[in-house]
Every structure is written in structure tokens, then in C-alpha cells.
Amino acid sequence: MSLLEVDNVSKRFGGLAALKNVSFTVEAGEITGILGPNGAGKTTLFNLLSGFLPADTGRIAFDGQSIRGLKPHRIVNRGLARTFQLTRPFFGMTVVENVIVGCLAPRVRDVHVSTERRAREILDQVGLGHAADALVDVLPYGDLRRLEIARALATRPKLLLLDEPFAGLGTSEIEPLATLIRRLHDEEGLTILIIEHKLREFMQLVSRVIAMDFGEIIMTGTPAETVRHPRVIEAYIGKAEADVAAA
Ligand SMILES: Nc1ncnc2c1ncn2[C@@H]1O[C@H](COP(=O)(O)OP(=O)(O)OP(=O)(O)O)[C@@H](O)[C@H]1O
Ligand SMILES: [Mg+2]
């Protein structure tokens, strides 16, 4: 049994078919990547998986049980958490308070462990320990991206969906964040599904790629297969960048 099974899932927005009969699986322990041009339907797919939008058709099963139609907090409680393409902190609260909110999910609430202590441990883990007591409103953008991940980790997910974690970051910030993501996988055994446009870092991180265009999966394969795939090059990468990514 795969950790996540998506079978014939579709989603329309009025006349626009944002997702058309999308089927794929994610195996426990993998880092799987989702690639595709702007508007391909990647975030919409995450919205369906995490319960933020209802699917029109199809089956979504997580850990052997259907999660289609469940509210977001129920899906989090099954062990599936996500981050957002645009960061969404609770303003007016401190960094550690933002993480404590995630630690209060019924799935992880533990009367024997102080939620604040857990939240601070998670902040240390993502390299934000120094900013724990700062107001979230004054956090630099790069730290907000790390906070997104900390808040998701607070719910102790089995599967973490990352929507463009490197978006808006400078080159010097991307590599350390990629290292953090790899560590969460290698050391914590977290299964990860990641959307990202920064090709080189993306290809180094993932073991399998799902490439999308116009709401459809156009191929799945290894990073090496992906950058050589004619439809992927045509839809997204372009020849010059394919050579760079394959190097
Ligand atoms: N809530 C919505 N209502 C109407 N249309 C939407 C909604 N969400 C997404 N869309 C449309 O669905 C299509 C897919 O959007 P989506 O955000 O999933 O793309 P994406 O692959 O994440 O793109 P990007 O790389 O730019 O983030 C786009 O045409 C978008 O305008
Ligand atoms: Mg998107």
C-alpha cells in the first residue's frame, strides 16, 4: 500500500479544467517532486490533498483511508500537513506562539510534554531558535519560509507537502533550506511531496518527479529521465536549462 493514492482526481473552476483525471502514488519514505509551468494545477492539487478545496471526482487515500471530502484539520490529524506558496503566519503573535498553535492539534497534543518546549525544539530544528520570541511581523522573509515548515512539523506529519519552499529566496538561502529538507527526510524519515521551480535544487532533492501541464500529468520518472523528456522540455524546461539541470 502506498502512503498516498490519488486516483482519477479532477477539479474545475467554472470553464477551466484545473486538474484532469490526475492519478499517482507516493510511497512512504520518498521525496517526490511536482514540476510544471505556472497554472499547471500544482497548488490546486495540494489544495485538494489538504482539504482546502473539494475534488470534483476521484479518490484520495492516505495511509489506506479515504480523505476526500474531509476538512483540513481532520486531514492534518491523519498526518498530512502542508505549507503555503505564500507564507501565512499569524501576525501579532510571536514566532514560538505560531508553532504552538500547530502543537495543539489533537493528533500531537501530549499532556506529558510542554507544548512550548516542543515548539522551541522544532524552531531549533529548523534554525529559528534565535527568533523564537520575536514578533512574527518583524521576521525576515527567509525566516518566514522556515516558520511555514516549523508550523507544519508541529503537527507531526507523516507526509509533508511543500509548495515552493524556495520561492523568493536568494541563492545563499536556498542551499541551507534544501539541506534542512533533506535532513527532515534522512533523519526524521519524513515523506515529502514538493513543488518547486528552482530546478537544480529540486532535482538534487527528489528521487522521483511528477511533471504536469494544463492540469494533466505528462510523465513520471527519475530526475534524469525528466530533464531529457521531450514533453517536459517543451512544456517547461527549455533545452538550455535541461542541459544545466542534467549536468
Ligand atoms: N480558487 C480558484 N478559483 C478559480 N481559478 C483558480 C483557483 N485556483 C486556481 N485557479 C486556476 O487554476 C489554474 C491552476 O492554478 P494553480 O494555482 O494550481 O497553478 P500552479 O501550477 O500552482 O501555478 P504556479 O506555478 O504559478 O504556482 C490556474 O489557471 C489558476 O488561475
Ligand atoms: Mg502554485
Tens digit of each residue's pLDDT (9 = 90 or more) over 129-155 = 999 999 999 999 999 999 999 999 999
What whole-number distance in Å separates Cα of residue 122 and Cα of residue 129?
8
H-helix or E-strand containing 4? strand 4-13
Mutate to test the pocket of ligand 1, among 11, 42, 210 (most ligand atoms within 8 A of CB): 42
Domain boundaries, the chain: 4-79+157-246, 90-155
pLDDT band at 102 (very low <50, low <70, confident <90, very high): confident
Q: Which pairing describes strands 57-62 and 65-66: parallel, antiparallel, or unpaired?
A: antiparallel
Q: Does residue 241 register a pLDDT over 70?
A: no
Q: Residue 153 has what pLDDT?
A: 95
By the CB criterion, residues less than 5 angstroms from ion ligand 2 are: 42-43, 85
Query: What's the grid cell of residue 174?
Result: 536556498
Q: Percent of the chain beyond pLDDT 70?
A: 94
Residues 8-28 have a mean pLDDT of: 97
Residue 155 beta carbon below 6 angstroms from any ligand 1 atom: no
Residue 41 beta carbon below 6 angstroms from any ligand 1 atom: yes
Q: Please give the sequence-ordered ranges of beta strands (E in DSSP) within 113-226, or none if there are none.
A: 159-163, 191-195, 208-213, 216-221
The atom of ligand 1 lying closest to the CA of 41 is 18
Distances (CA, A) of 219 to 117, 202, 216, 244: 44, 16, 9, 20
pLDDT digits (tens, 9 = 90+) for 33-59: 999 999 999 999 999 999 999 999 999
Q: Does residue 9 register a pLDDT over 60?
A: yes
What whole-number distance in Å separates Cα of residue 6 and Cα of residue 11?
13
What CA dihedral angle connects 103, 30, 221 and 16, to 10 degrees?
-20
Residue 13 beta carbon below 6 angstroms from any ligand 1 atom: yes
* Nearest Cα residue to atom 7 of ligand 1: 13
Q: Which residue has the higher pLDDT, 133 or 88?
A: 133
Residues 69-76 have a mean pLDDT of: 95
Mutate to test the pocket of ligand 1, among 9, 11, 13 (most ligand atoms within 8 A of CB): 13
Q: Does residue 190 register a pLDDT over 90?
A: yes
Mean pLDDT of the chain: 92
* Nearest Cα residue to atom 30 of ligand 1: 39
| Nearest one of 135, 58, 41, 56 to 95, comparing CA atoms | 135
Looking at the DSSP assignment, which residues form a beta bridge with residue 135?
94
Q: Cell match 527526510: residue?
A: 185
Whether the CA torsion 124, 190, 76, 51 is positive or negative: it is positive
CATH class of 4-79+157-246: alpha beta
Residue 36 beta carbon below 6 angstroms from any ligand 1 atom: yes
42 alpha carbon – ligand 1 mean position (Å):
8
163 alpha carbon – ligand 2 mean position (Å):
7
> How many residues does this entry show for the chain?
247
Mutate to test the pocket of ligand 1, among 9, 16, 196, 237 (most ligand atoms within 8 A of CB): 16
Q: Residue 87 has what pLDDT?
A: 85
234 alpha carbon – ligand 1 mean position (Å):
20
Query: What's the grid cell of residue 118?
Result: 516542543
